[in-house]
């Protein structure tokens, strides 16, 4: 017969499992491996630090999968290594403030993904401009229009990067307050 402690542990595990699965799905939406999201969720939910074997066992994944996921999370700056004096194992803990995590993630995505794409966007715009300049007749008009559209999109993308930079410059504390205030002021449409 199961005691109250067993029931409480089962309930806690069910609550954790639901969060872990949802966080894995959200990670997938962001283009991150689902296992990475699930490992992050386990570390986030745990009040202390965990070793890779415990994480792998909790999620029923291989040690290698857990290790690779940890490396990815550390590279993103949302998980850090923790050493316990007198213990040979390596432990890990997740950033506990969601705004700090979000800020770090946006900063890394900007550096890793947005900036390189923008460099390629400029190259595409420069190429379009160059071919439009040397084209003749109707093709020149067509290519000039094509360059104009690419340049318009590049300008939009720069405005988007400016918004990201403003977001990052605010810092995670002020950022959360600003978003809460904006959320109260702006209409809530769901489409």
User: What pLDDT shows up at residue 189?
Assistant: 65
Q: Is there a domain that residue 84 lies in? A: yes
Q: Can you tell me the mean pLDDT for 13-29?
A: 94
User: What pLDDT shows up at residue 2?
Assistant: 53
Q: 73-77, 95-99, 130-134: which has the minimum mean pLDDT? A: 95-99
Q: Is there a domain that residue 49 lies in? A: yes
Sign, Cα dihedral of 69, 72, 78, 81 = positive
- Structure-token match 């040979």, residue found: 88
Last-in-domain residue among 50, 70, 94? 94
Residue 70 binned pLDDT confidence (cut-offs 50, 70, 90): very high
Q: Is there a domain that residue 74 lies in? A: yes
How many structural domains are present in the chain? 2
Q: What are the two backbone dihedrals, phi and then psi, of residue 50, each rounded to the nearest 5 degrees?
A: -130, 150
Q: 11-20, 71-80, 114-123, 160-169: which has the minimum mean pLDDT? A: 160-169
pTM, 2 dp: 0.76
Sign, Cα dihedral of 57, 77, 34, 97 = positive
Note whether 106 and 76 are same-domain residues. Answer: no
Last-in-domain residue among 55, 71, 94? 94
Q: Is there a domain that residue 151 lies in? A: yes
Note whether 12 and 84 are same-domain residues. Answer: yes
Note whether 102 and 179 are same-domain residues. Answer: yes
The answer on pLDDT for 191 being more than 60 is no
Q: Is there a domain that residue 190 lies in? A: no
User: What pLDDT shows up at residue 166?
Assistant: 86
Give percent above pLDDT 70 in the chain: 96
Note whether 106 and 180 are same-domain residues. Answer: yes
Note whether 115 and 170 are same-domain residues. Answer: yes
Domain with 44 in it: 4-94
Note whether 90 and 104 are same-domain residues. Answer: no
CA 114 vs CA 18, 28, 101, 119, 166: distances in Å: 32, 18, 18, 9, 15
| CATH code (residue 51) | 1.10.10.10
Q: Is there a domain that residue 169 lies in? A: yes
- Supply the mean pLDDT for the chain: 89
């Amino acid at each position: 017969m199961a005691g109250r402690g067993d029931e409480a542990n089962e309930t806690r595990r069910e609550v954790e499992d639901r969060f872990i699965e949802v966080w894995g799905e959200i990670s997938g939406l962001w283009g991150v491996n689902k296992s990475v999201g699930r490992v992050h969720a386990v570390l986030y939910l745990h009040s202390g630090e965990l070793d890779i074997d415990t994480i792998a066992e909790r999620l029923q994944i291989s040690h290698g999968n857990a290790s690779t996921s940890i490396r990815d999370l550390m590279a993103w700056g949302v998980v850090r290594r923790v050493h316990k004096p007198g213990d040979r194992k390596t432990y890990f803990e997740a950033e506990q403030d969601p705004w700090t995590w979000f800020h770090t993630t946006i900063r890394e995505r900007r550096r890793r993904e947005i900036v390189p794409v923008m460099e390629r966007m400029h190259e595409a715009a420069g190429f379009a401009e160059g071919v439009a300049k040397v084209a003749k007749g109707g093709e020149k008009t067509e290519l000039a229009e094509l360059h104009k559209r690419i340049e318009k999109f590049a300008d939009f993308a720069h405005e988007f990067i400016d918004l990201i930079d403003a977001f990052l410059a605010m810092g995670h504390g002020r950022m959360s307050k600003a978003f809460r205030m904006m959320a109260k002021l702006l209409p809530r449409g769901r489409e």
